[in-house]
A and B are shown apart, each in its own frame.
Chain A
Amino acid sequence: MFAFCTDPSTLDTLRWFSCYLTNGAHMLFYQSFLVVFALLAVTAPVSLAFGFAAAAASRSHILPVAWLGKLYTAMVRGVPDIVFFLFFVLVLDQAIEYLRHQIVCPDWTDPIRQGANFLVCPEARTPAGNAPQWVHKTYGFALAVITYAIVFGAFCGNVLYGAMQAVPRAQLETAEAYGMSRRQVFWRVLVPQMWVYALPGLSNIWMILIKATPLLFLLGIQDIVYWARELGGSRTAVYQYPHPDWRFWYFLALLVFYLCFTRVSEIVLARLTTRLSRGQATAAGEALRKAGA
């Protein structure tokens, strides 16, 4: 990085650290923070969409659809979601390979499950065996994102369903009295009003989502936890930057990162709550109206 970094063993402490913290491996470490943000940026909208679909389905008048929606949102109760994380990644991987296997090589006769093995024809391997490294990485990351979206979609479904129930009946009845169809009542009255009721629950889920991001490590992604363990391990004099076991300090840095992140989120969400309460038929909305008048 810097010109004086050619021989680190001769440097004083400050310069040594400025070289150490900007070497190649550390740059990868900093990039892995982007992985966390990318995960959050993709997962949050997708799981919100999943949750919305699930909540809408739970209110359906067609019984099987309602059951499906309720089953999905009930799934996360009672079971630690790390179980789901470990489960879905494997299941998704096998499901994709199995489907491709059925399409690509229909005349394959050997059974797919042979004892402890899961064998599909070579053409159906996902990603292909000779694919470059980045394809494997992207595929792994995509699987992780889908898994997160499924689990957190169920959480969101719970919250949004509750929020839809919380919108005052009178509002919906008034809309019906104006001659709106069920669809119109849902989109024009229910959906715009439900957000203020959903926000406390959703901001809770957002906090939990932030705190769930280190679990990416368990899904085999090279995320910040991976790099913290990797970089912090002690280095002997053979290496360019020898140091003792510093993993504790790396994890301390991660802890501080998460603390700052949650704190900032808290402040932003508090502002958003105030903004959304404006003009709503709730106590908070009423308080805002009185303060403004």
Chain B
Amino acid sequence: MTCLEAFEAYALRSLGIGERLLPSADITLCQQLVLIGSGLIWNVYFGILALSFGFLFAVALAVGKNTPARLIRKPAEWFIFVFRGSPLFIQFFMAYELFVMLPRVGIEFTFLGVEFAAETRWLSRAWLGALIVLFLNTSAYTAEIFYGALRAIPRGDLEAADAYGLSGWKKFRRISFPTMLRLGWPGYTNEAIFLFHATALVFFSSFPAFQQRGDALYYANYFADRTFNPFVPYPIVAVYFVILTLVIIWLFGWINRRLNRHLPADRRPRLRIRPQIIR
């Protein structure tokens, strides 16, 4: 099998397009490169969607944790504690078992006089179920970062806002939110890298790879089991993830420069990338 054939057969295999059977004998380097790369589509899918939805929820959570009202603060604090204090791996398992326990057909319920019909059968599939877990998890971690940033807003800025007669939504929108984003951005960059790495766990935690459509690590593990040679597939995954990490750093660094463009050059915070960590 030439490289071009391997590319045609397996480039979109993780989405179910192309050759149905995975390579089993005479596995070539090209096949490994292409198939593992195809699995990366899932990592990117989980990463981007969880990050974008998580961002909005995280801002709400951070503001919630920062309000004096107990009724709002306590739930936000507990949510953040539960998702940051327990392993993501266990969260995946638990969510999967919960989704499996739900009735297969769907749930119909009446809430405030409106009838809801919820489809539940997609929840036990990775593309939705795992996405929900990742979304909740990253929201909690991001909320903690943004909460720290909210607390770090210089008092003078807020006093100046008061002096200008800004209050409520306008003050948040014009002063608190941009400053929070600016201060929290380096931490948020690390969280983003961290989340993309966490996506590698999805298919190792109960969520089945439907028709062997898995992520990069799923295919790498498949090849390592088949060839009994870990020295090819795992370095390939590693290289793919390093590239992905570099892209994230570049993108977030660009946003960081935009967020800080009003500051004098020597006061702009630099992005410090810390080593990634699991959860």
A residues neighboring B (CB under 8 Å)? 73, 76-83, 86-87, 90-91, 94, 113, 116-118, 154-155, 158, 204-205, 208, 210-215, 217-218, 225, 228-229, 232, 245, 247-248, 251-252, 254-255, 258-259, 262-263
A and B contact pairs by CB, cutoff 8 A, 9 listed: A80-B201, A81-B197, A86-B217, A86-B234, A94-B230, A211-B87, A214-B90, A251-B97, A254-B94
Is B57 on the interface with A (CB-CB < 8 A)?
Answer: no
> Could you tell me if A78 and B89 are in contact, using CB atoms closer than 8 angstroms?
no
Interface SS majority for chain A: helix
Asked if B226 and A87 make an inter-chain contact with CB atoms under 8 angstroms apart, the answer reads: no
Cα A217 to Cα B276 in complex, Å, equals: 21
Q: Which of B111-119, B127-135, B235-243 contacts A (4 or more CB under 8 A)?
A: B235-243
List chain A residues, Cβ under 8 A from B87: 210-214, 258
**Nearest opposing residue in chain B for A87, CB measure:** B234
Chain A minimum-CB-distance residue to B193: A78
With A83-B200, A158-B275 in contact, is A78–B241 under 8 Å at CB?
yes
Of B78-86, B150-158, B176-184, B258-266, which stretch is located at the interface? Answer: B78-86
Binary contact readout B224-237 vs A (1 if CB under 8 angstroms, 0 otherwise):
10111111001001
Known: A79-B237, A83-B237, A262-B85. 14 other contacts (CB 8 A): A78-B246, A79-B245, A80-B200, A80-B276, A81-B277, A116-B228, A214-B89, A218-B204, A248-B97, A248-B101, A251-B93, A255-B90, A258-B90, A259-B82
Interface residue? B279 (CB, 8 A): yes
Residue ID in chain A nearest B199 by CB atoms: A80
CB atoms of B94 and A258 under 8 A apart = no
Residues of B within 8 A of A204 (CB): 277
Pairs A-B, 7 closest by C-beta atoms: A80-B197, A248-B97, A251-B94, A211-B87, A87-B234, A78-B245, A90-B230
Write the nearest CB–CB distance from B184 to chain A, whole angstroms: 17
State whether A78 and B278 are in contact (beta carbons under 8 Å apart), knowing that A225-B90, A258-B90, A262-B85 are contacts in the complex. no
* A86–B197 CB distance below 8 A: no
A78-B241, A81-B278 given; A245·B101 CB < 8 A: yes
Shortest Cβ distance from B228 into A: residue: A118
Number of interface residues of B (CB under 8 A): 46
Closest Cβ of chain B to A210, distance in Å, is 8
Query: In the complex, what distance in Å separates the CA atom of A213 from the CA atom of B89?
Result: 10
- Once the chains bind, are A90 and B217 in contact (CB under 8 Å)? no
CA distance A211 to B82 in the complex (A): 12
Residues of A within 8 A of B100 (CB): 245
CB-CB under 8 A from B246, the residues of chain A are 78
Q: Looking at A76, A205, A211, which has the most chain B CB atoms within 10 Å of its CB?
A: A211
**Which has the most chain A C-beta neighbours within 10 Å: B93, B224, B238?**
B93
Q: Which residues of B contact A251 (CB under 8 A)?
A: 90, 93-94, 97
Question: Are the CB atoms of A255 and B91 closer together than 8 Å?
Answer: yes
CB-based contact B228/A83 at 8 Å: no
Q: In the assembled complex, which residues on chain B have CB atoms less than 8 Å from the CB atom of A252? A: 94
Residues in B neighbouring A225, C-beta threshold 8 A: 89-90, 93
CA distance A205 to B231 in the complex (A): 28
Q: How far is the CA of A211 from the CA of B94 in the complex (A)?
A: 15
* Most chain A CB neighbours (cut-off 10 Å) among B81, B89, B98, B274: B89
Cα–Cα, bound, A113→B100 (Å): 42
What are the residues of chain A within 8 A of B230 when measuring CB–CB? Answer: 86-87, 90-91, 94
**Interchain CA distance A212-B242 in the complex, whole Å:** 21
The reply to whether the CB of B120 lies closer than 8 angstroms to some CB of chain A is no
State A158–B190 Cα separation when bound (angstroms).
15
User: Does B51 touch A at the CB level, under 8 Å?
Assistant: no
